[in-house]
Each structure stands twice: as structure tokens, then as C-alpha cells.
Structure 1
Amino acid sequence: MNRIIFFLSLFLSVKIGPAHGRPNFQQLTVEQKVAPLGIDLANPRFGWIIHSQERGYKQAAWQVQVASTLQLLKQGKGDVWDSQKISGDKQSFVAFQGNALRSAQRYFWRVKVWKDDGTDSGWSEPSSFTTGILQPKEWENAKWIAYEILPKELQVMPGVHLSGDHLGEKGVKRAVIPLFRKPFELDKEIKQALLFVAGLGQYEARLNGEKVGGDFLAPGWTNYEKRCLYNTYDVTKQVKQGQNTIGAIVGTGFMYINRERYRKMVRAEAFPMLRLKLIVNYADGTTQEINTDESWKTSPSPITFSSIYGGEDYDATKEQLGWDNVTFNDVSWKKIIVTEGPGGEMFAQQDYPLKVMQAFDVKEKKQVASNKILYDFGQNASGIIRLRVKGKKGDRVKIVPAEVLDDKGMPYQNASGGPYYYEYILKGDKEEFWEPRFTYYGFRYALVEIDGKEMADLNLQLLHTRNSAPTMGTFSCANPLFNQINELIKWGIKSNLASVATDCPHREKLGWLEQTHLIGSSMKYNFDIYHLYNKVVDDMMEGQLPNGLVPDIVPEYVPFEGGFRDSPEWGSAAIIIPWYLYQWYGDKRVLEKAYPMMKKYIAYLGTKADNNILSHGLGDWFDLGPKDPGVSQLTPIALTATATYYYDADLLSKIAVTLDKKEDVTAFTQLATNIKDAFNMKFFDSQKNVYATGSQTSYSMPLYMGIVDETAKNKVSTNLVNSIRANNKALTAGDVGYRYLLRALEEADASQLIYEMNNRADVPGYGYQIKHGATALTESWAALKYVSNNHMMLGHLMEWFYSGLGGIKQQEGDVGFKKILIEPAIVDGLDWVNVSYQSINGEIKVHWRKENGKTNVKISIPANTEAQIVLPTFSKIYEGKKAIENNKSIKNMGEINGKHLLETPSGNYEFTLIK
């Protein structure tokens, strides 16, 4: 229910204009969240989305008021900040410039905007934001506490890849998954209570017998030596005047991965620990704090084994009923141990928490042995199980999840990491419910093995867990296969949206960086990834090595070797992602904070280059060559590495311009020129207009990145198209190259070819995966069983669904979708397309349909923006009932490259194209 309310608050308007014709505000944000908790910035930034039925609505001025109470705000008294009327059309990242904010306080704010004719919107309805802990010293009274401390001689830091069987006694012990509790009294009328919690690896907070919040695997995982995240909860309704009890269960997460069952690595940083601060503001203006300190007590929980990679065991006979409530007697519990903590500075988690987002009931179940039942949920997804069971005390249930089955119809974990399982020991109640707390897996099937002979009843659900980022886009079309492909890719993305962008939800669960920029555009059309990607930038900054290398994964819990640690197509996310965030959302601050990292990284690449050519890395990973997929087979590694090196330098020259780093502009522009010259000299055959091997990736990367000389661009593009047609229109590019192939073809106005390449199931690709039973995007184009069957790295086609078929793009040089480009590809074989994207400035919608010899195109452009609309050439084009030549709100720029170019202000448009 809380999730439903959040989505409604995000997308429904918070104000209806008091008079007809006035705009209303659909969304008021602070740091790009509606009514956020835990803002820990001294100068947070405000934003608003304007909705107006008026064509061409432009904001000419704005005013923000911030008050310490709702009453003061309604009286027009912005006692914390009143910006007064400020000229300009800015509506996002408006920086707070008022009186100093205080920690753990709720503030109220509103906005008003004006048009240039002086008419105003009226004040928005109030919104709010709540601060976190603003000063590090405010954490001093809250200690890190633990049940046990890992001796330094048993630490494994950094992690060791795979089994770690050579480590002796290190990583052998099972960590105790502890319970922590503290009774406390609140003796006055309560105004507000805010809870700030960091439990490492992950925790579940409890208050007066109830779970706090709906988070899963909180907080987000980081490099704990440099940064620890805490979560903020408003618990005003959970505390009461009088006696209370607060508690927590803390799991291992990535802090401690022992040598049992499956593990991608062995890592032993510390045993579970907790840091917590409850701040209660009383109605009389006084404050009371409850902190983790020596007064807390602890005891082992019923979780007897827990591993992010291996699964979880729960012995319900060891439950301590009411341990998190006031009436519980904790005389047998021991005192906690105060520990130093991992060393990282405390920051409020800004990204959306992981939550249970969807529940799948069993689609089919089959008895495969006398005590074994195989369940099929019909969807491969990241998540956990929910068990409902009746039986005798001591009966044991083992549950083995799997994404695919072997040839005998049994769970196959070879590619997803095994053994991984859950085990539950019954306490013998009439009906028992259980969900794992500190682990998850990617699966569709679950094999249940029953140890009790008289198990009365058992039922399972698959609970899909992921980052709870709101949905930002929709796509549908007349082609059922494309709708299936969209869902296939979406499940690959959803299953890998965690507190990092993971490669897979089972085998590795690591933040591999290449996919963040290669399918970032696909993701941004679908989900609000602003906060996740800001965290990725922080992870990269903290993970950068002293020599400048940004490793392929961050946080780097385990260092890999060779191209699996140092591949330019991966590490270059350090430059590409901050630039994309700036382009997509208009956040200049991310460029400023990441700029030193970018410079260090490109300097590192320079030390690896030989005459401006890079030759290391993984290349076009998992392309379709004659061998099993892996390192690039069809395209030279040096080509993808050096093309990426050029792209880095070119982007840095633009970033330097944006940040007014004049000397750097000159240096990076020259570096880009030098790399381009070296690239073309090494890889380009000017007689044949072919790059390197003539693979799809060999053509596409230089085309998209601007490496191809303008005099040769058309010939190279034609050769690319012809080579695809000559190869049965089959795709061969891999993880790195396929995104650039689609971009190059779309820019060459070859969306018809993209359509034909992907509207099939007879060769490896999306349709082929679906034909062979995939319900989430697989790691290999051929949906091979011996690799992951839930990966998001090949999901590039989703971007084309929005930017190609839907035509929603940005104009050259645009920042934050202020200057929108609408250029739908109205391809043969497709009757209609419907897309929408909730940009930072409002919703953009495109719907086109062919009927009765005409093509109708409906377009919505949000208020305070403008658009260029590019339509195919038809003999007549009407908007509404008027020919575009007679429509004063549309500027007809005539035909350019065989298409009609129109310029429009914001508003809703309906075009009719007649041959």
C-alpha cells in the first residue's frame, strides 16, 4: 500500500490551478524525490514539473518559499528561505540559499511561477523534505555495536575469487546473525520521531513489535571503508508515549562471505554490526535521542546461516517470541560489544531502497519424487521465496531455486551459482510463514524437498525484489513480438536493479560498469535511475586506484585479473556516466564532483596507450563468433578499446567547456584529434571504406563516435548496411558493439533494417531467446543454458523502441530535455506505436497509427520546453484541421534530407499525414 501511495504522489498533480487556464504542478521534488527523507546536503535543490493545457507555456520567473512549519508557509512566511521572484525558466536543480538547515527536521515548501506577461500560477500545494544527519560529529554518540568481533588475523580483505580453500581458518566460521534490542521511555507528547539506521552488511529494524519500513537488503552496499549508507525513517506512528522497544536483525551482506555453499568470492571484513540513532522531537520543543551504545543487548537470531551468495537457513524452533516488544524479558541476553566500525563516513542513502515489488503465484507444480515438488512461477526474476507451511516441530523444508532446468527437468544451477538454497525448520504452529531476509537469487523454478512425513500443507510464492525506482516510460506497438522483447529486456533490467546495477541476480551480483553506459539510455526511458547512477559515480570515485584505474566492477569487493579488472569499455563509465547524467537530467554538480576522477582515468589510459592505440581489455564481449561466447571474436580488441579512448577524450573536451576549464579544453581536444588520427591510420582501409575486419562493431563504433571523416561517412555507413543485408540481416555484435550498431543505423535512417533484424526468431537474438523459453533477457544471444539466463547487458534494443520507433530524443546540445526532438521511424510492417517518457521537465508522448491510407501522429510536449518534430515526407500534412503551412503555432522549416522539419512550443499536437 505504501508503494502505491508513493507512485500516486509521484505522478498525480499536487495542485489544481485555482482558475481555468492556470498551470498546475504535477510534481514537486527536492533532490529529485517527492517529499524525501534523509536529505543530508546543506544546499539541497528544488524542482517542479508544470502542466498546462496552453500551447507554448513558458515559465519566465519563479519563487520558492521554505518554512519551518506548515502554518508559517500557509501564511506566506518563508522563515527558512524566500527566494523572492527570480527571472528565468529554470525548474530543476534550483539550489537552496536560505538559513542553515538543521538535522532531523521537516521543512515545508511551495513554488509559484510566472509567464512573461505577468500572469502567475498561484502557489502550489505545500510539499516537504526532511533532513538527515548533516554533521559527522552528530553521529558520535551512536556507537557501532556487534554480537562478536572478527579477529584481524581472520580478515580477508580484499575478497578472494571463488572458493578460497587455500585460506586455512579464514572464512570458515559462520557469522552469528544477531538480534539487538533496547527498551526506552518517551515521557512527553511526541511531535515527530525519526530513525537513522546503518546495519552492515544489511539489516531489518524493528520497533514495538513491527518492522520499520518496507526495505529489503538495506542499506545500499558500498566500499564500507570509505562510505557507509544509513536509511531514514519517519517512525512517529510507531513510537508511543511511555515504554517502547527498538531492535534490529543484522545480516552479513558483502561484509562477510564465508566458505560454505556457493560463493563468487570469500570476503571477511567484519561480522554484522549496527549503528542507530532515534531522534524524538517533542511538542514542547525539546528533543530526546536513543543511540546504539553500551546499554544495548544482543542474542543470536533464528537465522542459522545467511550468505548473499549461498542462501539462508532459518530454525523457527529458536525464535524468541516478542523479542522486539516491551514485555519481553531479555535477562538471558548478553551485552553488546562496542566496535570501531568499518571506517567509512556516514551518508544518507539517496537512492530508492530495494523492496518486494511483485509476487508470483505458482503457475505449475509437479511431484518429481516422493518428497520433492517442483514449482514453476512462470517468470525468471530476482527475488526470494515466501513459504507458507503447516507441519510438526522439527520438520525440515529445503528449497532450491533455479532459473532453468537440466535435461532431466531438475534445477540447474551450474551457470547461476550453486549450491544455493533455503532451509526452514518448523516450530509446529498451525500455520507458519517465512521469507529470507538477507539474500536473494534469480530464479523461475523452485524444488521443494520435504523432510517431514506428515507435512499437512505447503505453498510458495516468488517475491520479486529490486530497486524501487519509479517507472518513467511506457512502450507498446502492433507487433506482438516487439512487445514480448520489450518485456524480456525489462525483466533483465528489473532483475538487476539493486543498489548497484548488477550483471546478474545470482552468480555474481556485482556492479560491472560497461552495461551502465551501454544500456543506460534504455534504462533511463523506463526507470528513474538518477539516484542509482549518482551512486554508481560515487562508487567509481571511491573505487579508483591510486594509478587512476577505475576497475571493471565497483564496489570492488574482489579484484579480478587482466581484462576483467582493466577494460577501457568498462572503466570509461567513469567519464561517460557523469556526462549522460548531465545530458539526461541537467545536473551539473555531478560533472563537478566527478571531474578529478575523469582526468585521472584518462591519464591512466594514456599510460597504457602505444602511439594513442589501446590494445587491452575484453573487447566486444559475447559477440556472435564461431566459438563459445566470451572475449571479442569478430572485432579487434584494440578497435573497441581505442574507439572508447577517443570517445572519452571527446566527451572530456565537452565537459571541460561546460565547467569552463579552458586549458583542459585545448588539451582534450588535441588528445581526441591525435587518437582519431591514429585510429583511422591503423584500422581504416580508405580504398574499400572498411574498418578493420568489417564486423558490425568495427563499422558502428567509429560511425557513432564521430571518428569517421565526413567525406567517408556515407560510404562507410552504406558498407555497414550492405554487410548486414549480405549476412541474412543477422546480428553479430556483442555487449559493447550492439548498442553502437543500433545508434549508427538509426542515425543513418535505417530503422527499417533494425526492424527486420529483430523481427525474427530464426537466428540468435531477442526473438530466438523467447522462442527457446526465455522470460528474462539472457547473457548470450543464443540463450545458452550454461551461461546466465537473466542478464541486462544486451538490452540495447529498448532504447530504439523509444528513440527510434517512438522518436523521443534530445536535440543536439540539449541538456535535460529542454529542447526535445521527435523523429518517429514509421517503418513498414508496423501499424502503430505508443510511447511515453516522463522526462525531468514532464511527460513526452508519441502515438502514431496507420489507417485508411493515412498516418496519424499524436505528440505531447511538456510545458516550459520546446521541440523539433521531424516527419516523413507526405504530400499533405495537417495539424488538427489546418495544413501546417497555415498553423501559426507551428514553424514549418520545410524539407531537410527528405523529411519535414517543424518547430513547435509545448502542447498537444495531432498530425495527419496524407500521401
Structure 2
Amino acid sequence: MRLFKKYIYLIACFGTLYFLFSSCSQSNKKESEIALHVNVFTSINWDSAKWIGYTKDQRPEKWAARDLVRNQPPMNINTWEPTEEDLKVTRRKTHPSVLLRKSFSITKEVTSAEVAICGLGLYELYLNGKKVGDRVLDPAQTSYDKRAFYVRHDITEAISKNNSVGVMLGNGFYGQNMAFWPGLAYGNPRAILVLNILYKDGTKEQIVTDESWKAHSSPILFDNIYLGETYDARAELSDWSTFKFDDTSWETPEIMKAPTQNLLEQDLEPMRKIRTVTPIATWKAEKGWILDMGQNMTGWLAISVKEKEGTVVKMRFAEHLMPDKQNIDPASTGIHVTGNTQTDVYICKGDGIETWEPRFTYHAFRYVQIEGLSKTPDLSQFTGWLVRTDAERIGTFKCSDPLINKFYDVSMWTIEDNIQGLLSDCPHRERCAWMGDAYVVAEAASFNFDLKHLWQKTSSDMETVLGVSKAHFKDPFPYDSRAPSNISVGKRLCLQARPDWGAATIMVPWFSYVYYGDTAIIEGAWDMMEGWMAYLDEKVQEDGIINGGFGDWCPPGGNPEMDTPPALTSTALYYQSLTSMEKMALVLDKKEVASKYAEKAKFVKTAFNKTFFNVETKSYGSQTGNAFALYSGLVPEGLEQLVADNLANLIMKDKNGHYSTGIFGHRPLYTVLNDYGHDAVTKHLWSITDYPSLGFMTEEHDLTVWPEGVSNWDKKERYYRHSFNHPMQSGFAASFHESLGGIRPDEDFPGFERFILRPTFLSGLQWCEATHKSPRGEIESSWKKEGSQIIWSISVPDNSEAIIQLPHYQKEQITLNNTVTNANVFNVPSGEHTIRISNSK
């Protein structure tokens, strides 16, 4: 909050200075008008605005409510088969969707006009009959009792003499009272709005939400962020947001309680429709037709139909089909906790060709079962929209191996599907910001998407859930007000953060600093990070080991197959947190504090190796133990290669050439193997298609995103009920950039001011290309094998330099721009360079 106030103060100062400077120049009237705009709208005065809504419910019971089947099977039950008790159905309504409008006229010329709005849970803003902007599912989810986001819209070009502003409201997460349990809802939809107008004569006018507005029910009869939307086109009100519309029959809105006094402007990029997905097939099903999108995706289906008035078109969404392919199988999308399938319903008005897509829900799906159409549908009637936070794509990767390319693409789809105003654990069943998932995937995601604003929001979200949850019953750590929850936003928090999941409190700000040079995030999160570390320091055992935690989550075969003690990964994460805190303290010029963390880290490293390291075998007992210890910098100096050698043996001999890691061990597995000369093991793991392997999922089972966990599925049977779209399983994808492309940040020079280039010229690959758009500019690393040489082309952006590391090659083998380097580690300045390496180790 202190950081936010400082930010607002600086912007206001900038606006004032800009106004004074521009006003001094009488030669350019337009410049002066722009300056006035900046000055007036740097901050929003909400004093006169009121929260308004409309709770009168006139919807037909048939459409306003849906059946909920409650079933929460034990974790060891893999398929959802309802019992007689499960089939006891309850029926629940959503809060009604609302239309709000206000008409006004102006008599003077306008210099600028802007709307600031917070519509909870979700809103669409209209002016003079047209939607304002292209944002969807706005604003981003927050813990609404702690803070809520408002959004600004410049409407200068759209405003006219006579105007009408309209707001459509949906439930979103704010009014979510269906999935899991009713207590997750904060209340009925509501909005607060300020419309500021600056006239050319220098006067101002403000229009705000209050009792003068008009309210009416919406044609959306049901909307729930998990379960879907029902839209009755017959109830549409033509031109409802235009000045000419007659609203005399509309009612006065209700003055609603403010959910929070902490209204903040949303800094995070908005949700948008990013790109279309074209379906690849349709066929007759037991009921209706099934549509195959060809890709497991997050978003929605836009339809175009021509049917009689009152025709009900029902669309149900799922990731899988039943074995006979005559019905969808919704088990993996969370029917056992949400209570029903993801379902959209469109009721036709019978007026020629009708097009529709939902507003206040989204789905995760590959297949859609469509009922109610009078004739066989054509694929051209349907368009899938990938919907996510519009963070810029800043990374690319491709190589000569199509299977490796597929692993990268599947990883990126999985991450994209879950950037939904937060990094969700899955985009259907839970849609929660589990902290362990954010830690595991942060680096892979940051190589490929500009997530600086997302990580800032994530860190701030964590702060809103400090001290909110009860302690986890499986850990020897009592409740503490300094501890966040396992889930960083909302009401479904799943108890106090366990010691491994809670590491994201430290590591998310650290990764954001390293990848984007973002010092603001560590300044803003410092008190929270200090509190979490103090809490752990007080509770850690005298021997320096942290017991408890979820552990190396979701190894092949599920958590019963976990072969690494949670104490190992929790203690390693504690060590990572200590070393990161030391470095962040130095960034903030807290030298004494940094020394404290450094000393503690030394103690924990000694304790870790005393407890978990087998001196005789040079092993930490498992693939994850070895890989995570190497990644964390915990292996005793000089023994790293031997531990990596043992890791390779554990894979090729003990596990017959397969990985056994969960999410913590899988994240660094391939980079660690490659760094220590075991790239042949990596290539083997990336070539096989039997269980368990990445190829088993993509080639044998045609998965287009990574599932929560891999099991030895039988194609003839139903898939397990666990999610099939989980970004935590994309953590390993960092290896495509950091290892094959070799692009790695240098934590001492954050934001890629200086960075490392250390590629692995993987066995069996002929070429590889990787790019990363860093804060300093585009970094390119491209290599190919020609005869006995490797030709490696690199591009270092302006105001940056790179450290070339080729530890597996002799200096005589390496030339830089046709000159012998006499070194296998050296620096190169900005610009384009060609490195040639004799391909014989």
C-alpha cells in the first residue's frame, strides 16, 4: 500500500510538471490540451460515486438455477462414478446479471473524457450503443474484501452531444456461489463508476453512479465463472445503452455496500480474445453432435445458428470423450467439486442467423457436445477463442526434432491456458492461484511471456492472504499472522501455506527481479518476505531441517509413488529463499540483513548435506533429490559432477530410462543433465513414448496440454478425474531456452543487462533456434551442425553484454568471429556474433 501511494504521488507530480511545462508554450494549443488531460485524470475522485446494483430477480426458475451433484471422492479414487448418495441433487440460483444505464447531454466542446469503473465481479461498459474497448472478463480477480481493481477507459472520441452510458454486470468470482460451496461468494454484482469530462473552456463535469441511474435485469439468465452461462436472446433489449432508449419502465438501482475501501487501478494487462481456434471435426453423438477443437484450450465457443424462436442450444465442454466417443467425459474438468459440467445455453430469438458468445464465463475444453440444433452443423458455424491475460509473447523456440518442438508447444499452450488474471493451477476444476505452481513454472513462463505485471499482482495477492487461514494439520507449524495461504487470492485458500508452497512468497519476487530487473516488487514485498522468513526461522528444527510440506508433487503414478521426502524439497526451498533474501537485501542496501541470511544459508546447507547426502554413493537418494540439490546450489563444492553422474544412473539403470520426478525435480532435470555432460540421457528421455514419458502423453494419448499427473492410462478406459491442463508440469520447459538455446539471466545484472549464453548442442539435434525479448532488447541464439563444426550465431542487444560459457570444449576448438578465443569462457559485447566450435569433445 505504501508503494502504491508513492506511485500515485509520483504520477501526480509528473502530471503537474507536464501541465506547467506545456502551458508555458502558447505556440501549440494541442500540446496544452493534452497536458490538461494528463493533469486532470492522473487520479480519480470517487467521493461522490456510490456502489449500485439490482437484486430484484425476475428470471424463470428453469433457467436461473442449475442442479448440483455433490461428490468429493478420496484422492486414491481415479474415476468419478456417482453413488446413490452422490446423486442426491440440490438446486441453486446464481445472483442475477444486471443492466445499469444513465443518459446525459453536453452543450460544450470536449477536450477529453474518461470513465473509471469497478464492476464486480465482471462488467462490460457501453457508450451510445457500443461496447467500450476490447477487454473481456474485466477486472482481474482479487481478494475483494482487501482490494478491488478499477479500469480506465478513454471515451473522448466516442462522446457526443447526447449520450448514454451502460454497464452490464456478471458474477465472476465475486458472486461465485455454485462451485465448491456457497460461502465463496462475496455478494451480488455491483458497480461504481466515475465519468470525467474536461471541456475546452477549462471547466469540468463529473457523472457518477448514484440513485439517478436506471436498472433492469439482463438477458443473461445464469452466469457462473465455473459452470457457464445461459442467455435468452428473446429477452434482449435493443439499443438499451443508447440515448434514444426509453427507460421509463426501468427501476431505480439499489445502493450497495462497498466491498472494500481500497480501490486500485489495474496495472495488469487485461484479459482479451487472443486468437481463434478452428474446430477440426464434428460427428453425431448419442445426444446432438460432438465438436472437436483439435486443441485443449481455455476460452469459449462463438456460435452462429439459424433456428426457430425458443430453440434451446446447449453446449457442454470437456477435455475428453467417453471411450465410445458418443459423449463427452467431464470428469477431469471438476464435476466432483463444481457440481456439474461446464455448460452454455443459448435460447434463440428466431430472427435469421444469430451469433453469440458468452461474456461472464470461460471454459477449458477440447470437445463440445452440442444439443438442440435442427440439422447437422457445419464447422463454419463455430469459432473457438483463446482467452487469457494479454501479456506479450516474448520467447520463441524451435529445433530440428519435431517431438521436442511439440513438447515446447504443449508447454506454452498449458501456460497460456492458465494466465487468467493470475496463474491458475488449472483453468476448469479449481482456477486457483496455488503458490507452489507459481514457483515451479515462473521461469519457464518468464522466458516466454512478459509477466512483470502478473508477478507484481501475484506478490500483492499473497499479501492480502497473510494470516487468513488456519495452519495445515499435517505440518508442525502453528498458525501465524505472517504466513500466507496455500492459494494466494480469493476465499478458497486451502489452509495456511505449507513450507514448500510458501516459498513462492520469496521466489516469485526474486524471479521477477532477475528476469525483468523489477526492483519495485522486492521493495513492495520486503516486509511480507521478512515476516515469512522470520516465521520459518522460529519454527525450523535445531538441526536446520524443515519437515512438512506437500513434497515433490505429482510424480508419474501419483503421489503414492513420491520417492523423495518432503523434508528434502522443503529444506532446499528454504535454502533457495535464504540465498535469494541475501541477494535482495543487498539490492536494497541492507548489508547487515544480507549477512544474517548468508550465515543462515551456510548453516542450512551443512544440515541439508548431513541429513540427505550419501557420501559413498554421491547421491541424495532419488532423481529429484539429486536434480533439486544441484539446481539449488546445495551440493558440496567439487562433487557436483559425481552427483549428476549418479542422477544419470538413477534414470538409465534404476528406472530403466524413465524419469520419476514430481514437479520440483522435473523443473531442473534436463538442464542439470545437460550441464554435466549427460545430454544423451536428455535426448533419450525426449525420444521415448512408453510410460512414463513426455512422448507417452503427446504421442500415445494425443494430449495437447500437460495433465496434472501422468499415469499408465489405458486408451480403452476412461481417463482419471484429475485435471488435464496443469501449468506446473510446464516448469521443465525453461530448459528449452536456458539449456538448448543457452540463454540464462545473470542475477548480478538483472533484466539481462548482462546474461549468460551456455547452450547444449543436444545429441541428435541438427539445429536449434531460441529468442527472448529481454527488457534490453531481443536476444537470439541459433546453432546448427555442419560436418565437424557447430556454427552458433548470437545476437546481444544494445546496452547489454553476454558471457559465453562452453565448459565441455577446449579453447582451441572455439573461434569468435573467425578469431581463436583462447578461452572457453569469455565476454562478448552487444551486436551479432558467430562462434564456431570443432564438434569433437
TM bracket, shorter-chain basis: 0.7 to 0.9
Q: 1:258 corresponds to which letter in structure 2?
A: N
Deviations along 1:742-771, one digit per CA (max 9) or x if unpaired, are 343344343443233223222323221111
What's the secondary structure of 2:184's corresponding residue?
strand
- Choose the corresponding residue for 1:133, options 43, 46, 56: 43
User: What runs of 5+ residues in structure 1 fail to find an aligned partner?
Assistant: 1-37, 47-64, 81-101, 108-129, 151-159, 885-891
**Matched residue, 1:42:** 9
- Choose the corresponding residue for 1:639, options 544, 568, 572: 568
Deviations along 1:463-492, one digit per CA (max 9) or x if unpaired, are 110111111011111111111111111110
Q: 1:307 corresponds to which letter in structure 2?
A: N
**Matched residue, 1:207:** 127
C-alpha separation in 1, matches of 2:50 and 2:740: 55
Q: 1:219 to 1:479 in 2, by over 3 A?
A: same
Residue 277 in structure 1 maps to residue 208 in structure 2: no
C-alpha separation in 2, matches of 1:73 and 1:705: 58
CA contact (8 A) 1:837 1:845 kept: yes
What's the secondary structure of 2:239's corresponding residue?
coil
The CA deviation at 1:191 is 1.7
CA contact (8 A) 1:769 1:782 kept: no
The CA deviation at 1:599 is 1.3
Deviations along 1:192-235, one digit per CA (max 9) or x if unpaired, are 21111110001111111011111111000101111110111111
The CA deviation at 1:607 is 4.2
Residue 745 in structure 1 maps to residue 677 in structure 2: no
**Matched residue, 1:97:** none
Deviations along 1:498-524, one digit per CA (max 9) or x if unpaired, are 101001110011111112221211111
C-alpha separation in 2, matches of 1:762 and 1:460: 36
Superposed, which structure 2 residues align to 1:422-433 within 5 Å? 422-433=344-355
- Choose the corresponding residue for 2:293, options 372, 377, 399: 377
**Matched residue, 1:233:** 153
CA contact (8 A) 1:387 1:458 kept: no
Q: 1:321 to 1:846 in 2, by over 3 A?
A: same
Q: 1:187 to 1:225 in 2, by over 3 A?
A: same
The CA deviation at 1:722 is 2.1
CA contact (8 A) 2:99 2:215 kept: yes
Q: 1:41 corresponds to which letter in structure 2?
A: I
**Matched residue, 1:192:** 112
CA contact (8 A) 1:229 1:348 kept: yes
CA contact (8 A) 2:12 2:42 kept: no
What's the secondary structure of 1:288's corresponding residue?
strand
Q: 1:553 to 1:783 in 2, by over 3 A?
A: farther
The CA deviation at 1:40 is 6.3
**Matched residue, 2:828:** 904
CA contact (8 A) 1:619 1:632 kept: no
The CA deviation at 1:76 is 12
Superposed, which structure 2 residues align to 1:145-294 within 5 Å? 145-148=52-55, 172-240=92-160, 242-259=161-178, 263=180, 266-294=183-211
The CA deviation at 1:284 is 2.1
The CA deviation at 1:71 is 9.7
CA contact (8 A) 1:161 1:265 kept: no
Q: 2:255 corresponds to which letter in structure 1?
A: V
Deviations along 1:397-424, one digit per CA (max 9) or x if unpaired, are 1100111111121211111123220111
Q: 1:522 to 1:560 in 2, by over 3 A?
A: same
Superposed, which structure 2 residues align to 1:354-373 within 5 Å? 354-369=271-286, 372-373=288-289
Q: 1:491 to 1:227 in 2, by over 3 A?
A: same
What's the secondary structure of 1:393's corresponding residue?
coil
Q: 1:455 to 1:811 in 2, by over 3 A?
A: closer
The CA deviation at 1:620 is 0.4
CA contact (8 A) 1:389 1:458 kept: no
C-alpha separation in 1, matches of 2:237 and 2:454: 37
**Matched residue, 2:702:** 773
C-alpha separation in 2, matches of 1:257 and 1:732: 38
Deviations along 1:307-337, one digit per CA (max 9) or x if unpaired, are 1111110111111111111111111111011
Deviations along 1:619-650, one digit per CA (max 9) or x if unpaired, are 000012xxx41367211111111211222122
CA contact (8 A) 1:876 1:914 kept: yes
What's the secondary structure of 2:755's corresponding residue?
strand
The CA deviation at 1:660 is 2.3
Superposed, which structure 2 residues align to 1:537-556 within 5 Å? 537-545=459-467, 547-556=481-490
Q: 1:620 corresponds to which letter in structure 2?
A: D
Superposed, which structure 2 residues align to 1:62-141 within 5 Å? 105-106=37-38, 132-133=42-43, 138-141=45-48
Higher helix share goes to which structure?
A: 2
Q: 2:239 corresponds to which letter in structure 1?
A: G
C-alpha separation in 2, matches of 1:446 and 1:454: 14
CA contact (8 A) 2:219 2:235 kept: yes
Deviations along 1:268-302, one digit per CA (max 9) or x if unpaired, are 21100001111122222222211111111111101
Residue 404 in structure 1 maps to residue 338 in structure 2: no
What's the secondary structure of 1:794's corresponding residue?
helix
The CA deviation at 1:547 is 2.1
CA contact (8 A) 2:143 2:464 kept: yes
Q: 1:271 corresponds to which letter in structure 2?
A: N
Paired residue total: 778
- More displaced stretch, 751-760 vs 176-185: 751-760
Higher strand share goes to which structure?
A: 1
- Choose the corresponding residue for 1:764, options 671, 676, 692: 692
**Matched residue, 2:716:** none
**Matched residue, 2:431:** 509
Q: 1:707 corresponds to which letter in structure 2?
A: L
Q: 1:445 corresponds to which letter in structure 2?
A: Y
**Matched residue, 2:220:** 303
What's the secondary structure of 2:764's corresponding residue?
coil
- Choose the corresponding residue for 1:614, options 541, 546, 568: 546
C-alpha separation in 1, matches of 2:6 and 2:697: 43
**Matched residue, 1:117:** none
C-alpha separation in 2, matches of 1:798 and 1:709: 27
C-alpha separation in 2, matches of 1:103 and 1:142: 26
**Matched residue, 2:254:** 337
Deviations along 1:826-880, one digit per CA (max 9) or x if unpaired, are 1221011111110001111011111243322111101111111234447554444
What's the secondary structure of 2:331's corresponding residue?
coil
**Matched residue, 1:420:** 342
- More displaced stretch, 867-876 vs 649-658: 867-876
Residue 487 in structure 1 maps to residue 394 in structure 2: no
CA contact (8 A) 1:403 1:412 kept: yes
User: What runs of 5+ residues in structure 2 fail to find an aligned partner?
Assistant: 58-67, 73-84, 336-340, 468-479, 714-718
**Matched residue, 1:809:** 744
The CA deviation at 1:819 is 1.0
The CA deviation at 1:360 is 1.8
Residue 798 in structure 1 maps to residue 733 in structure 2: yes
The CA deviation at 1:162 is 7.2
**Matched residue, 2:792:** 857
Q: 1:793 to 1:773 in 2, by over 3 A?
A: same
Q: 1:585 to 1:454 in 2, by over 3 A?
A: closer
CA contact (8 A) 1:374 1:447 kept: yes
Residue 434 in structure 1 maps to residue 369 in structure 2: no
C-alpha separation in 2, matches of 1:663 and 1:539: 29
- Choose the corresponding residue for 1:578, options 509, 520, 542: 509
What's the secondary structure of 2:575's corresponding residue?
helix
- Choose the corresponding residue for 1:714, options 633, 637, 641: 641
**Matched residue, 1:143:** 50
What's the secondary structure of 2:723's corresponding residue?
coil
The CA deviation at 1:725 is 2.4
C-alpha separation in 2, matches of 1:852 and 1:446: 50
C-alpha separation in 1, matches of 2:183 and 2:275: 31
Q: 1:674 to 1:594 in 2, by over 3 A?
A: same
Return the TM-score normalized by structure 2. Answer: 0.87
